[in-house]
Amino acid sequence: MVSINSQEFMDELLFCLKAGDVVKAKALLQFASDTHLDIQTQKQALLEIGRADEKTAFPLLDHLTRIEMADPEIRDVLYDLILDKACGNTDLVIKYITQKEKQNQIIYIKAAGDLLLTEVAPVLTDIINTGTDPDVLYHAVKSLGVLRMSDALPVFSKLIKERKTNDRESRESITAISRLASKEAVDILLSFVNVQNPMALTAIEGIAAIQTQYALETLSSLLSSKYARLRNAAIDQIIQTGKKSVPILTKAAFQDSSDYMVHLITTLGYIGDQAALPCILDIIKTCLKNPNVRQASYEAMERLPSTQWGILLAAGLSDPVEPVRMSAARAVDKNLSKALVAGLKKLIRKENQTAENVVAALIDSRADNIFNFLLQEPAFTRLAVHYVQNKAARAASRHFVQMMKDKGFPELAEKINFQDNEPVENLKKPLDIYVIDDSKMMLKLYQNKLEKFGYAPTLFQFPGEAVKAVSILKPALVITDLNMPEMNGLQLTRVIRKQYSPQQLPVLMITTQSDFIMTKNGEQSVQFNHDTMQKAGISKILHKPFSDTELRKSVDELI
């Protein structure tokens, strides 16, 4: 480093500052760089410049922004001094913003935002409308957004429409719009929420950030979107918003669309606020015809345990649809009460088909807590032994027998003629299937059914874990739910297709019928038809609720 005498430098700088000689001071400041001065002298020089009047200090500070002073602390001090001198000197800020030297231009654009200089808004608007440099444009959008001026809404909206890309300038424009938190801001963001727009998901995040009642109502309305990508993004944002969303969701709960209700109920369950319970219980008590709504309600009850309302769950165990019964069984296990136990015993003592379904649901769902109260009930033990011996899947039977031993009922375990002496690793290994669903109950259901069909299911509640597993070892088939938070079935399939073609690894997608959009002539279109399925890499689609025959036919066909 070529150094100069620090004391001589400071003496001459002080002389220039006292005389107001900006030209000579600029010439001297060429020696303020890292190659000539130590950091301590640089700090001292900045301190003295900061003491000068604005007319002298401002051009010198501007000049120093071009000098090599790499130390972060020095750069911070320099920017703080620029802010100090710029405060109350809007004309100077505008002057330096319009000087067109990129690095300095960005510094003063940032200063305009940090100082909330609304008078600079027209200059920033002009840069956004006519600028081409992405860095300058980004900082102009950011500073104008901080000013929170409603007049700027059309400016941000125009930029997003014209650029049509998910770049940082467009994302910052979304942030700027959301800062205004007005009804107009929400409506503008909503206009970008369509499946063709690359900014759609960012716009949904922007709506969620506003947090007003209108914004949250708008967000909840997206649960009825026919597009899984948009709908799941809205669900993720509502869940992150948390309890604040519950009153709005419960108010909108009873709708004509059963699929909207499924997504809404599921979202309430993930939020986990007990305030949602009365709404979900009202849905259960209405005995809605759609089994997907009933199943979603019981799954939400599992996530919102409350012994006070447990007795209402008993009816779910006698539901005619197996997935609904299993969801109710999982909920029962988390909502035990004396009244609920009494109701279950009454159902089981009848030893009819309904009683058999109840016992099967409890065993298949691994509802272990309730067995503490049922294992001494003769009717239950008779039905349980018969089901485990004759109908239950291997994994469910093995689990039940071990559970009885653990709970101190070895004699009952011995009554079950369940041949499971041979270690699993010694058995002929069946074809492996990966199953991905965010519902633990549905995973158990798939496990039971696939094992009965002779397949070996590996279960994943989190899609990210399934992606890792597929990259390590290819299964014979992937079965995935469509609607899952964080990563939906479409996104999961796209990731898999980067490694395996549909011929190498088929993917069976599980959805509701409403995930298809119908054309005027009644044909499936837009969302899932033959072409869109191929583009997404999906091999086959199975609608909920499905029968054992339909599941087995689909799996056998693909494998």
3-state secondary structure of 107: helix
Per-residue pLDDT at 428: 42
Per-residue pLDDT at 518: 38
pLDDT > 60? residue 429? no
With cut-offs at 50, 70 and 90, classify the pLDDT of residue 351: very high
Instruction: Measure Cα distances from 512 to 33, 348, 443, 492, 545 in Å.
Output: 66, 32, 17, 18, 8
Per-residue pLDDT at 526: 40
Distance of CA 361 to the CA centre of its chain: 31
Name the average pLDDT for the chain.
Answer: 86
Q: What is the pLDDT of residues 465-487, one digit of tens each?
A: 999 999 888 999 999 998 787 78
Per-residue pLDDT at 513: 56
> Mean pLDDT across the stretch 150-155?
95
Query: What percent of the chain clears pLDDT 70, i.e. is strictly above it?
Result: 93
Q: Tell me the whole-structure pTM to 2 decimals.
A: 0.74
Q: 477-481 and 456-460 as β-strands: parallel, antiparallel, unpaired?
A: unpaired
The better pLDDT of the pair 84, 172 is held by 172
Q: How far apart are CA 485 and CA 291, in angstroms?
A: 21
Per-residue pLDDT at 127: 94
Contact between 452 and 408 (Cβ < 8 Å):
no
With cut-offs at 50, 70 and 90, classify the pLDDT of residue 489: confident
Q: What is the pLDDT of residues 2-42, one digit of tens each?
A: 567 889 899 999 999 999 999 999 999 988 888 788 889 88
Show Cβ contacts of residue 228 under 8 Å, excluding neighbours closer than 6 positions. 482, 483, 488, 489, 490, 511, 515
pLDDT > 70? residue 129? yes
Per-residue pLDDT at 517: 45
Least confident range of 72-81, 159-168, 238-247, 509-518: 509-518
From the DSSP assignment, how many helices (H) and strands (E) are in the chain?
31, 7
Q: How far apart are CA 169 and CA 183, in angstroms?
A: 23
Show the tokens assigned to 548.
């054992």
Query: What percent of the chain clears pLDDT 90, i.e. is strictly above it?
Result: 42
3-state secondary structure of 433: strand
The better pLDDT of the pair 425, 22 is held by 22
Contact between 207 and 219 (Cβ < 8 Å):
yes
Q: How far apart are CA 346 and CA 548, in angstroms?
A: 29
Per-residue pLDDT at 426: 40
Beta strands in 362-506 (DSSP E): 432-436, 456-460, 477-481
pLDDT > 90? residue 139? yes
What strands, in cross-sheet order, belong to the sheet with 507-512?
A: 456-460, 432-436, 477-481, 507-512, 540-544
> Mean pLDDT across the stretch 178-193?
96
Q: How far apart are CA 293 and CA 262, in angstroms?
A: 5
Closest CA to 239 of 203, 202, 273, 277: 273
Per-residue pLDDT at 174: 96
